[in-house]
Amino acid sequence: MIITLLILALILSGALSWFAESRKSGSAKMVALVSSLFLALSFIVYLLSSHNDFSQLVLLADVSWIDTFNIRYSIALDHLSNMLLLLTFLLLLVAVLISWREITHRVGFYYFNLMLTIAGIVGVFTAVDLFLFFFFWEVMLLPMTALIAIWGHENKHFAAIKFFIFTQVSSLLMLVAIIVMAYLHQQQVGQLSFAYQDWLNLKLPDELAYYMMLGFFIAFAVKLPSFPVHSWLPDAHTQAPTAGSVLLAGVLLKTGAYGLIRFVIVLFPQASTEFAPIAAILALVSILYGAKMAFAQTDFKRLVAYSSISHMGFVMLALFSFNANAFQGAIITLVAHGLSSAALFAFAGMIYARIHSRDLAMMGGFWKSAPLMGGFALAFAASAFGLPGLANFVGEFFSLIGSYQRFPVITIFAALGIIGSAIYGMMLFQSSFQGPVKHSFIDLSVREGFIAISLFSALLILGLFPNLVFQFTFNGGL
């Protein structure tokens, strides 16, 4: 029930802030901030007071929706979705705060779209009826595309269309796979079913299972994104408004990884084991290619975007190693990357607000005028390249340890990606904050400082006490 209420409340508060803005300009962001704080707190309170054991999926709602196809509205939570939801709410707050000054036109509608995106994402992380999952999967796309297309930068329409077509086509493949699974259930049990729990009991014919797995895998690999279906990401990230990039990198990419964890490796253990070598090679290519491309960029946001491809490669490599260590590592990497890349995009937005450029050639010597900002930027860059003590290190370390047992050669090459990330991370920092002074501007404001501190402390806590999240039941693969 709580999740349904949260989704409804997100939609309503989005509508409310749209309405409020039309009455009194400047009120939309207040409404959005207050309501997202309230919703985040109520979710935390729910988690603390709940007596459910979230180590397995706990079904929270299950009502009939479309009887014709036996589609049910069913929502469930476990540790994985809880943690991703917490991340989502944290980044929602960041997104609202980072848009505070940046968005100056159509403000009400902007916050409406922002809230709607989050509502869709919450649905994706909790739905356990596959039709419902697909529904939310698409619903989160629409407002996200609107965010890019309306409030984006110079080439926004192209980026938005590219983003939409990539995800839409790949998700149609997933839709086909979902439908075939439902009909398979009809063959074996006698009635259609889209329920995740029912599908776990299906006996899948080998060859069919492989194709079904591919259908799901492609949809999630596009979202992750993995080489060779990554090319929407740099464009979408670069053109999106700052909050859009934060959400894209912070949570939308995680929906791809979530799909791999929840559906691909659990529903099709046999097929994904067979597929694992290919997935591992794709992951390796993503890691190295992403790192190389990041190094070659001159655009701040594009660089961070390519680094995301590289980091998500580690997640995929770890997931397809079918190993408890790697699994835990993948999940920590997810969260850590969500925090650190969101922080870097937020910094890109802050710099853009000051010098109206994302071009690294236009930057330099910011440290002189803004040491606090420089300090945080260094910390986040260091976190991105895996400095021990911060969460990314733990995640990548465990991922590599786990996957070494299965793919030793690939893992050795993948470890090179960490060196690459150190190189581009330092390049990013040096060309913007060090060197000759090209601009001088005011340091972090209180609002921006709050964003930086909250993201950094989350990274630090997870880095020092990774046991906080080491509680996932590993049930992936063979």
Partner 1 sequence: MDLSAFISLTPQLIIASGVVLAMLLVAWQRSQKMIAYFTTLILLMAIIATVNAMGGEKTFITTLLAVDDYSRYAFILVLVSSLCCVYLSTLTLCQGVEVHDEYYLLLLLVVLGAGILIVSEHFASLFLGFEILSIALVGLVGYFRQSQFSVETGFKYLILSASASSFMLLGIAFIYAQTGDLSFSHAVIEQANITLYASLSQSVLYQLGFILFFAGIAFKLSLVPFHYWTPDVYQGASTPVTLLLATVSKCAMFIVLLKCCFTASHFSLIQGSNVFSFIAWLAILSMIVGNCLALKQQKIKRLLGYSSIAHMGYLLIVVLLGNLAGIDFAWQSVLFYLSAYLLANVSIFTVLTFDDKLAKGDAVTIDSWQGLFWRQPLLATLVIFSVLSFAGIPLTAGFIGKFYLVSFAADHALWSLLAALIVGSGIALAYYLPIIFALFCEPQSTPEENVQREITLADKSVVSLYIALGFVLGIYPDVIGKLLQQL
Q: What is the nearest approach in angstroms of partner 1 to the Cβ of residue 399?
A: 33
Specify the length of the chain in residues. 478
Q: Which stretch binds partner 1 (CB under 8 A): 130-138, 235-243, 343-351, 401-409?
A: 130-138
Q: Please name the helix (run of DSSP H) or strand (run of DSSP E) that holds residue 76, with its range, or none.
A: strand 71-77
Count the site residues for partner 1 by CB under 8 A. Answer: 31
Q: What is the nearest approach in angstroms of partner 1 to the Cβ of residue 180?
A: 5
The angle formed by the CA atoms of residues 139, 267 and 164, to the nearest 5 degrees, is 25
CA 356/CA 352 separation, integer angstroms:
5
The reply to whether 172 sits near partner 1 by the rule CB under 8 A is: yes
The reply to whether 155 sits near partner 1 by the rule CB under 8 A is: no
Radius of gyration of the chain (CA): 21
Tell which one of 33, 61, 179, 355 touches partner 1 (CB under 8 A): 179
The angle formed by the CA atoms of residues 129, 133 and 139, to the nearest 5 degrees, is 145
The reply to whether 447 sits near partner 1 by the rule CB under 8 A is: no
CB 366 within 8 A of CB 409: no
CA 29/CA 24 separation, integer angstroms:
11
The reply to whether 205 sits near partner 1 by the rule CB under 8 A is: no
The reply to whether 154 sits near partner 1 by the rule CB under 8 A is: no
Q: What is the nearest approach in angstroms of partner 1 to the Cβ of residue 403?
A: 33
Q: Which amino acid is at 315?
A: V
CA 78/CA 473 separation, integer angstroms:
10
- Bridge partners of 77, per DSSP, are 58
The reply to whether 176 sits near partner 1 by the rule CB under 8 A is: yes
The reply to whether 432 sits near partner 1 by the rule CB under 8 A is: no
The reply to whether 173 sits near partner 1 by the rule CB under 8 A is: yes
Q: What is the nearest approach in angstroms of partner 1 to the Cβ of residue 72?
A: 12
Q: What is the nearest approach in angstroms of partner 1 to the Cβ of residue 416?
A: 35
The reply to whether 66 sits near partner 1 by the rule CB under 8 A is: yes
The reply to whether 458 sits near partner 1 by the rule CB under 8 A is: no
The reply to whether 139 sits near partner 1 by the rule CB under 8 A is: yes
Q: Which stretch binds partner 1 (CB under 8 A): 65-73, 279-287, 394-402, 447-455?
A: 65-73
Q: Please name the helix (run of DSSP H) or strand (run of DSSP E) that holds residue 64, with its range, or none.
A: strand 58-66
Q: In terms of CB distance, is 46 or 65 closer to partner 1? A: 65
First vs last Cα of the chain: how many Å apart?
Answer: 34
Q: In sequence order, what are the residues at sequence separation of 6 or more whose Cβ sits closer than 8 angstroms to the Cβ of residue 6?
A: 39, 42, 43, 122
CB 21 within 8 A of CB 10: no
Q: Which stretch binds partner 1 (CB under 8 A): 31-39, 62-70, 431-439, 465-473?
A: 62-70
Q: In sequence order, what are the residues at sequence separation of 6 or more whose Cβ sits closer than 8 angstroms to the Cβ of residue 350?
A: 98, 373, 444, 448
The reply to whether 180 sits near partner 1 by the rule CB under 8 A is: yes
Tell which one of 1, 24, 67, 467 touches partner 1 (CB under 8 A): 67
Q: Which stretch binds partner 1 (CB under 8 A): 164-172, 198-206, 322-330, 363-371?
A: 164-172
Tell which one of 62, 102, 138, 274 touches partner 1 (CB under 8 A): 138
Tell which one of 84, 85, 149, 469 touches partner 1 (CB under 8 A): 149
Sign of the dihedral defined by the CA atoms of residues 217, 221, 223, 228, in that order: negative
The reply to whether 161 sits near partner 1 by the rule CB under 8 A is: yes
The angle formed by the CA atoms of residues 47, 49 and 53, to the nearest 5 degrees, is 65
Longest Cα separation, the chain = 72
Q: In terms of CB distance, is 168 or 357 closer to partner 1? A: 168
DSSP state of 226: -
CB 311 within 8 A of CB 340: no
Q: Which stretch binds partner 1 (CB under 8 A): 67-75, 282-290, 413-421, 429-437?
A: 67-75
The reply to whether 104 sits near partner 1 by the rule CB under 8 A is: no
Q: What is the nearest approach in angstroms of partner 1 to the Cβ of residue 160?
A: 7
Q: What is the nearest approach in angstroms of partner 1 to the Cβ of residue 152?
A: 10
CA 80/CA 470 separation, integer angstroms:
10
CA 206/CA 211 separation, integer angstroms:
9
Q: What is the nearest approach in angstroms of partner 1 to the Cβ of residue 246?
A: 21
CB atoms under 10 Å from CB of 392, counted, come to 30
Binding site for partner 1 (CB under 8 A): 65-69, 105-106, 134-135, 138-139, 142, 145-146, 149-150, 157, 160-161, 164-165, 168-169, 172-173, 175-176, 179-180, 182-183
